[in-house]
Amino acid sequence: MILTTNRHPQPRPVFSQHQDGRQGIIIADGINIPLQNSSVMYGMQTLLACYCTSDL
């Protein structure tokens, strides 16, 4: 999942893939929160999509 924002003209990955197959969410450069619950992952993905595509 790649999102672009006005503040970040270059595409940057929002979700990272861990070595053991778990997915995580990147809230800032170098900051990663591993997620194990798929429903939480979906909720955060929806929230991020709305946040990143809106002009704030």
For 31, what's the count of Cα atoms within 13 Å in the CB-facing half-sphere?
3
Q: Provide the number of structural domains found in the chain.
A: 1
Backbone angles phi, psi at 42, to 5 degrees: -65, -40
| Residue 21: per-residue pLDDT | 53
| Residue 2: per-residue pLDDT | 57
pLDDT tens digits, 1-56 = 555 555 555 555 555 555 555 555 555 555 555 555 555 666 666 666 655 555 54
Identity of residue 49: A
Domain that holds residue 49: 2-53
| Residue 56: per-residue pLDDT | 47
